[in-house]
A and B are shown apart, each in its own frame.
Chain A
Amino acid sequence: MSLVDKNVPLNFTFDGKAYSGFEGDTLASALLRDGVKVVGRSFKYHRPRGIMGAGSEEPNALVEIHGRGVCEPNRRATTIKLFDGLKAKSQNHMGSRNFDLLAVNDFIHPFLAAGFYYKTFMWPEAFWEKLYEPVIRRAAGLGTLTRRADPDSYDKGFLHCDVLIVGAGPSGLLTALSLGRAGQRVILADDDFRMGGRLLSESFTVNDALASEWIGEVLEELSEMPEVRLMPRTSVFGVFDHGIYGALETRTDAIGVGGARQTLWRIYAGHTVLAAGATERPIAFANNDRPGIMLASAVRSYKNRFGIDLENTVLITNNDDGLRTDAAHIIDTRGGGYIANTAGRKGLRSVTLHTGEKLTANHLAVAGGWNPNVHLTCHKRGRPVWDKALACFVPDAATLPADMSVIGAAAGHFSTHSAFADANAVAKKLGAKTPALPKAEDAPIQITPLWHIKGAKRAWVDFQNDVTAKDITLAHQEGFSSVEHVKRYTTLGMATDQGRTSNVVGLAVLADATQQTIPQTGTTIFRPPYSPVPIGALAAGHAGQHFKPTRLTPSHSYALENGAAFVEAGYWKRAQWFARTGEKGWRDSVDREVIMTRNSVGICDVTTLGKIDVQGRDAGKFLNKVYVNTFSTLKVGKCRYGLMLREDGIAMDDGTTARLSETHFVMTTTTAKAGPVFRHLEFVRQCLYPDMDVHLISTTDQWAQFSIAGPNARKLLEKIIDPEFDISNEAFPYMACAEMKVCSGTRARIFRLSFSGELAYEISVPARYGDALVSELMAQGEEFDAVMYGTEALGVMRIEKGHAAGNELNGTTTALALGLGGFVSKKKDCIGKVLSKREGMIGQDKLSMVGFMPVNETDKITNGAHFFTKGETHNAQNDQGYMSSVAWSPSLNSYIGLGFLKNGTNRKGEVIEAVDYMRDNHVNLQVVNPHFIDPEGARLRV
């Protein structure tokens, strides 16, 4: 009998050859049934390897799954649920899996002992990258990643439960049953696609019937409980803070078949019951890695669960549990027997006993004892302790997370009876009534450890990374005695199985070399994930365009329809320029936008600027604290430019703030700093001055805001302002603000502000009217040849005007450096004022912002160039500063730049050198006033 359904055959290929298996098979079981011996090659020596285990501990049988033109490498054949049409291939060989050219490594193995590469390849110096390393890299690695986008999609989800049970073997199932009956919200997760744990692989009875009957009854009852979620094929891979677990649920192993292939779950659990079972370990003896040499528990799995009788099996065991394996010959090491060697390079042929007797054998079952799967108890730095009687590490109650219980084999309680007993105990602890204990076997394991049979030949400890017992003793001989050093020096336990079958054996070999006990020698810490997790699943839902959210401005559709190119500004997409037919490149469009704006009128969407409502009796006092200049004296109906510092005295952000009433201000921030400034203001309000009567709310998304700039700005605005409002220069001068109505009754806020240096207004309307307002402005502006302009023209005009922006407010510049020292009020304190006076931040030799124009008018200025005093050597010591913003000014017909120059303010007129190695552009520049256009500000006051 077995748990595969022979009525449902499944066809698959392995290395191109057709095979078939049955529903319920893994790839490994199907290959074994078909007599496939060599499944892959080992990492370093390229030894032929077969199937060693029957679960996620498998170190040898790594394969690639192919589909949709890509492959998933390094999959354990033992965890691939067979499906019809599966295409699997072996990996890590040059040639075929049966004739691997790199197997030469196996014959020169004495030269490739642990750490050999640290001791050579140093001469000649240049040969490492050119010769040695490429050879090593080519030979190393396991499977191949296809250089094409992953065609699969993944889901991400969140689950909450009272109790998470990890492992659906006898202890997990019984715990779930009790807790489920008590109405608790339970998640029962298991790596395997079939629940039942070891019971599926043994021939045990429960309540005097086949264990499968008991499993079936329990699962049936659990599946009917609304508060119980059964999650087969779900690997709980990591334990994180405060009861949060990472889990990966696999829907299918097929690639690109539609729907989510896997789901990444974050599980929030009140309590966790770890019922993860145990893993059998091998014994290190000469040539113990041949195809056909398997864990005894795996031999039983293949027989009992998959119905495969492995012919000609010999057993070597150091405990009673191993004796459950059917074998033609039994070597019980407790009686002094052992194996001296094995033969059969591509499939075991014989076993040589300590007596010299040679036994014909095609399979060798190895039972070296069991390691409880304590991994999840270690993720929060818990350390397991050594149990001498059981010869294994068991969880340590002292370092176990308070919200985790460990039961059954994971706790070192290996019999089915003790698993059930643990389940009832933990269910009781968690407040549930428990059923009578099911009747089950209670045989002790009776182990007398034997770790390593010493001899001249290589005996493998870590099969996948090809670490032998000798490598470990060599590491010790070279002074690597700490277990962490051994691990790093030999790569023991660092393969894709994370040492599931090798760590404890390796520790025992090391303990033997150091003449210490195993607990004295130490343990290694298991790190997440328990089993490897596809990076695609960890990134579920965030690939391609969905990597980050996208924010669209109110005029986005207008811009789309009018030739806009878009630029990323944080998550925003902003119109960069609006191309018109006939324009040959972006410069044509930008130049036109600037010229038309400066000559008539242009409109720009500035919604992305942060907008913060500041209200309350102490709003003015509050703004005095966060801005270097004074706002409490600002008159209602007026705006003021404000500069904000961090507490360390460096400029944080700037913008204008308008006073709409005695108790109501509206602040604007730069686009990039909208979030950080708001956070900072809330910090000042809640953490520094909670007694101030002031409240804040971000209204960035609530108002669509447009700049209307140019000599005809007023004429255009007048066409849409409702007639009762007067925006003449007298009634509404520069820096005025007011709430008005536009387009027959639509609420609007009008600010007379200018970033471009022209007569300009900013108008904001509720965001839902933004799109309509743009269309209306452009329609009404037709008579003025009104133009939409994007961020490039905006940038050109602000550089022409000498306004600092993000490039200048780069987190290292002071108010002084920005030429804004005069703004800092001497009468009051503000955030950043005290520390802005430190010696390193003041003084003449500091950088200050100035303008630059090329001496030779055809020269190009490039951003990021460094400045040098003319005639001085270009080196770090002589560096005089750097260029921060550059534009072609259509107004001046020249490149212009803003930059920071040592003592810049006092060097106007000087010719300096700008050196740009990256673009190979060294030019002479004249230092000029940064206000290139209308430095007196006459235009914006008309």
Chain B
Amino acid sequence: MIINHPLLGPRDASEFTYLGDAALMLRPNPKSDTAADSFYSYQYIRENTAGQHRELWYHEQGDRSWLVVTRNISTHEITKVELARDVKRAKAINNEAATHELG
């Protein structure tokens, strides 16, 4: 696979280390009354639907950027690659904002 790094251009996927669903960026609020439940879901439960998947890749053999890659996990087609920190700053991940640590 080839990942089109937003800063470095197309790179072979073997330069990257995969983590998983980009929802891992939505660490719940540890102070919430429901923290135990929400951390359980955050850590263990996955949508895992066939089709579009926003996921985290780390450019370990490169510039160490974490990227949010939008990839169809049925076809492997990649339609979007963003810097994770930009996504996080823009809060552009679907999120129940109220339960999220940084709100």
Contacts and interface: CB of A to CB of B under 8 A. Distances in A.
Direct contact of A and B (CB under 8 A): yes
Interface string A827-866: 0010001110110000000000000000000000000000
Interface stretch (A529-537, A656-664, A679-687): A679-687
Contact of A241 (B24, B40, B66, B76): B76
A436 interface: no
Contacts of A682: 58, 64, 66
A422 to B, nearest CB: 27
A603 B103 CA distance: 51
A903 B95 CA distance: 41
Contacts of B101: 688
A690 B19 contact: no
B36 A242 contact: no
Given A679-B17, A829-B31, A833-B30, A688 B43 contact: no
B30 A829 contact: yes
Nearest to A646: B43
B40 A835 contact: yes
A687 B88 contact: yes
Given A679-B17, A683-B19, A683-B58, A688 B27 contact: yes
B65 interface: yes
A242 B11 CA distance: 11
Contacts of B19: 683
B80 interface: no
Contacts of B78: 242
Contacts of B64: 682
A852 to B, nearest CB: 34
B66 A687 contact: yes
A686 B76 contact: no
Contacts of B75: 380
B7 interface: no
Given A679-B58, A834-B36, A242 B85 contact: no
B43 A686 contact: no
B97 interface: no
Residue from A648, A686, A835 with most neighbouring chain B CB atoms (10 Å): A686
A268 interface: yes
Main secondary structure of the interface of B (DSSP, over half): mixed
A150 interface: no
A242 B43 contact: no
B58 to A, nearest CB: 6
B1 A686 contact: no
Contacts of B85: 686-687, 690
A247 B19 CA distance: 30
Interface string A183-219: 0000000000000000000000000000000000000
B76 to A, nearest CB: 5
A344 interface: no
A428 B87 CA distance: 41
Contacts of B88: 686-688, 690
Given A242-B78, A244-B2, A829-B31, A835 B39 contact: yes
Nearest to B35: A834
A834 B39 contact: yes
Interface in B50-100: 56, 58, 60, 64-66, 75-76, 78, 83-85, 88-89
A787 B38 CA distance: 54
Interface in B13-54: 17, 19, 24-25, 27-28, 30-31, 35-36, 39-40, 42-43
Contacts of B43: 647-648, 835
A383 to B, nearest CB: 14
Contacts of A691: 89, 102
B36 A686 contact: no
Nearest to A833: B30
Contacts of A242: 1-2, 76, 78
Contacts of B2: 241-244, 268
Contacts of B76: 241-242
Nearest to B88: A690
Nearest to B25: A687
A878 to B, nearest CB: 31
A935 interface: no
A675 interface: yes
A115 B19 CA distance: 44
Nearest to A682: B64
Contacts of A240: 1
Interface string A373-417: 000000010000000000000000000000000000000000000
A689 B26 CA distance: 10
A433 B78 CA distance: 32
Interface string A667-707: 00000000100010011001111110000000000000000
A835 B30 CA distance: 10
Nearest to B87: A687
Contacts of B84: 686-687, 690
A838 B36 contact: yes
A280 B1 CA distance: 34
B65 A686 contact: yes
Nearest to A834: B39
A829 B101 CA distance: 11
Contacts of B56: 683, 687
Contacts of B30: 829, 833-834
A311 to B, nearest CB: 54
Interface string A271-297: 000000000000000000000000000
Nearest to A830: B30
Contacts of B24: 687
A268 B56 CA distance: 24
Nearest to B83: A686
A242 B71 CA distance: 12
A689 B85 CA distance: 8
A919 B15 CA distance: 43
Nearest to A690: B85
Nearest to B1: A241
A241 B30 CA distance: 40
Interface in A800-836: 829, 833-835
A675 B60 contact: yes
Contacts of A838: 36
Contacts of A835: 36, 39-40, 43
Nearest to A683: B66
B3 to A, nearest CB: 9
B60 A690 contact: no
A167 B65 CA distance: 40
A241 B2 CA distance: 8
Contacts of A837: 36
Nearest to B44: A648
Contacts of A683: 19, 56, 58, 66
B75 to A, nearest CB: 8
Contacts of B17: 679
A268 B31 CA distance: 50
Contacts of A647: 27, 39, 42-43
A390 to B, nearest CB: 29
A241 B39 CA distance: 35
Interface in A402-458: none
A831 to B, nearest CB: 8
Contacts of A244: 1-2
A689 B89 CA distance: 9
Nearest to A625: B27
Residue among A242, A380, A679, A682 facing the most chain B CB atoms (10 A cut-off): A242
Contacts of A834: 28, 30, 35-36, 39
B7 to A, nearest CB: 13
Given A686-B83, A687-B84, 4 more contacts: A242-B1, A686-B66, A687-B56, A838-B36
Q: When A and B form their complex, which 7 residue pairs have the shortest distance between CB atoms, in order from nearest?
A: A690-B85, A829-B30, A242-B2, A834-B39, A686-B66, A241-B1, A686-B85
Interface of A: 240-244, 268, 380, 647-648, 675, 679, 682-683, 686-691, 829, 833-835, 837-838
16 contacts: A240-B1, A241-B1, A241-B2, A242-B1, A243-B2, A682-B58, A686-B66, A686-B84, A687-B84, A688-B25, A688-B27, A689-B102, A690-B84, A690-B89, A833-B30, A837-B36
